[in-house]
Amino acid sequence: MAAKRNACIIAGGMCKWGVREASLVDMAQEAAKECLEDIPALKPKDIDGFLFATSYAGRCSFQVNTAPVIAERLGLKPTSICARVDVLCAGGSTAILMAKGLVESGMADIVMVAGGEKLYTPQKWEVFYSELASIDHDWDAPNGLGLPPPFFALIAKEHMKHYGTTKEQLAWVSVVNYNYGAENPKAQFQKKLTLEEALGAPPVVPPLTLYDCCPITDGAAAVIIACEEKAKDLTDRPLVYIRGGAQASLHSVSANWPGEHLADWAHLRVAAKRAYEMAKVGPEEVDVAETHDCFSISEVVEVEELGFCKKGEGGSFVESGQTKIGGKIPINTDGGLLSCGHPFGATGIRQGIEIMRQLQGRARFQVEGAEIGLTHNLSGLNVEHTIVIYGREPVK
């Protein structure tokens, strides 16, 4: 029997994220250039597979079948796979998991996984109007739930009601993540944030205020996923393996929410259990993580459901500094969604880049000796959860 093939993440890059004077196709080129500059031995012609994660190309750029369009601009001529991936906010992580499967099955050897969104259209009303497509069109969109702040405000109120979480604890999520992002030149905001500023910010949907919410963002990112043999030929850096992952989608319409209440994310627990089993690690072995902080409250619930702390203690976990460097598990060390922004299809790829750098020992805020890293996304109206677990060693 042939030896098991392992998939590694070996390079990554992203363009400047924010309100960009550039098209989706332009930003994909900027991200791909930085990605290939991260691995000089790799040439575009060596890449045999291409996955592009985007959700709004059809709506905001009037462009479907996006992958061949972008592949051509990047000088890629994929011969194993060339496809678009759409899982909205989790599209990038989904494409990374798909690339793992393609590489490990032997269908592909070297896959570029890229993603991006161009969300700022020429007229501002359309930017917000487009987002109504993010959720179940016939049942939740007509209730005005397409822009996510009301739903996550409701989750925050539920967490406060059931577990006594405070507004100040939510603010600490923003303070920690903004202060990581302040040093990240690619982030939408390079702003040091104080607790006083966070608490004094204008309301969005109470109890959420300005710094509790990630912005709308244009951006793109790209990584290279290769089989272990090719990876060893292409780079002398420590190899980072994709050990496992999972994606759980238990409902779509909000009325079918799978938890006991809205601060109980049963679907995240299901995804986490399966991802940890596949990666053969437990939450206590994760050294560094990127969680989906689309809102401050999201990270509070996620650290609980991912098993980093007990259920209900997410607020005090963050407030007590456990997500800072030196804490129990540093989280969102590149700034997270709150500071980097959130061009949906690119977000999971940005997270993958940060975890790769952490495990290779070249992150901006380095977690010393990090061996296991985890990324997490949710998408839409909190309708699915996606987890990728990376490690310095393959699963044995």
Partner 1 sequence: MAVLGIPILEDKYPVTMDMWPLQAKEFNRIYKFYEHLREGRFTTTRCRTCGHVAYPPRVICPECYSEDLEWIDLPKRGKVLNFTEEVRGVPLGFESPLIHAWIDLGEGSPIKRILSRIINCPVGKLQEGSEVQLVVFEVPSHPIEVKKDTKWVERVFFAFEPVEK
Residue position matching structure tokens 């050990």 = 243
Closer to partner 1 by Cβ: residue 252 or 320: 252
Question: Are the beta carbons of 147 and 296 closer than 8 angstroms?
Answer: no
> Cα–Cα distance between 23 and 120 in angstroms, integer?
10
CA distance 312 to 301: 8
**Quick one: 150 or 394, whose CB is closer to partner 1?**
150
Residue 284: both structure tokens together = 């206590």
Q: Which is nearer to partner 1, 188 or 254 (CB)?
A: 254
Rounded to a whole number of angstroms, the minimum distance from the CB of residue 143 to partner 1 is 4
Please report how close the Cβ of residue 9 comes to partner 1 at its closest, in angstroms. Answer: 37
Shortest distance in whole angstroms from residue 46 CB to partner 1: 41
What 3 state SS string does 107-144 have?
A: CCCEEEEEEEECCCCCCHHHHHHHHHHHCCCCCCHHHC
Binding residues for partner 1, rule: CB under 8 A, are 125, 128-129, 131-132, 137-147, 149-151, 153-154, 157-158, 161, 203-206, 253-257, 261-262
In sequence order, the 6+-apart residues with CB closer than 8 A to the CB of 296 are 156, 170, 171, 173, 174, 208, 211, 212, 338
Q: How far is the CB of 135 from partner 1 (least distance, A)?
A: 10
Helix (H, G, I), strand (E, B) or coil at 188: coil
Q: Which of 35, 60, 89, 309 is catalytic?
A: 89
Which distant-in-sequence residues (6+ apart) come within 8 Å of 186 by Cβ?
14, 15, 16, 17, 340
CB of residue 205 to partner 1, shortest distance in Å: 5
Tell me how far, at minimum, the Cβ of 122 lies from partner 1, in Å. Answer: 10
d(CA 263, CA 261): 6
The closest alpha carbon to 12, from 368, 390, 377, belongs to: 390
Angle, alpha carbons 348-53-379 (nearest 5°) = 55
Whether 89 is a known active-site residue: answer yes
Residues 6+ apart with CB under 8 A from 3: none
The catalytically annotated residue of 159, 267, 342, 376 is 342
261 is catalytic: no
Q: Distance between CA 64 and CA 130 in Å, rounded?
A: 16
Q: What are the catalytic residues? A: 89, 342
